[in-house]
Amino acid sequence: MSLDKLKLSKALHSSMNKLGYNTPTEFQLKVMSRIVGGQSFIGIAPEGSGKTTAYVLGVLMRLKESLDEAPKFLILTPNEDRGAEIVEQFIKISQNKDLHVVMLSTSRSMKDEVDGLFLGTDIVVATPKCAREVYLKLGLNLNRIQTFVIDDAEEIIRLGMQNPVKELARSCGKVQYLTFSTVEDKKLHFMVDEFMPFVQVVEVG
């Protein structure tokens, strides 16, 4: 099955072909139109099923670059190593050197983080704890968030970061929520049901 089924933009289609991605995964086929269409859902799929690539493509399809100090997309990830991988994936797939994506890090001072965000960004990647800390210092503006992504939700739960996730979600208001995990259980729903009530679960084995 070809990438045509994902209905990507010409630029993203070309980029994926250059990177050697010629066939979408089952999970990507199920969720791409939902992401681009602004639907919220919980995506359950095993490692290697293309969850990250799916939401990276979806965000890039929805993105209208504007160099705004208020980001449009917030991606929460369990650790900074994973965050760096996500940023790299965005840059690699977009092939856009001017893509404004920022990863917040505890290794830098709070002032540096806030100053960096004020320079303008479209996409912010961070751990829940780091994003919350910067938000409480009035450095992370959530007023214009369009899509709120929880990556590797099961690992975020294992590390006990559910409360920062819920606090950030409450601060975003009505946006598109995307949660990705390898498992669906009570702990997952305890974290997301408050801001994703009665949401559809999309699952592949």
Is the pLDDT confidence value at 166 over 80? yes
Which residue type, as a one-letter code, is found at position 164? P
Domains of the chain: 3-203 (3.40.50.300)
Pairing state between β 123-126 and 200-203: unpaired
Joined tokens for residue 3:
């990438």
Pairing state between β 101-103 and 73-76: unpaired
- Which element (helix H / strand E) includes 187? helix 186-192
Joined tokens for residue 132:
């919350």
Statement: the pTM of the whole predicted model exceeds 0.85: yes
**Confidence at residue 42, expressed as pLDDT on a 0 to 100 scale:** 98
Average pLDDT over residues 135-149: 91
Residue 200 CA to residue 35 CA, distance in Å, equals 13
Going by C-beta distance under 8 Å and a sequence separation of 6 or more, which residues neighbour residue 64? none
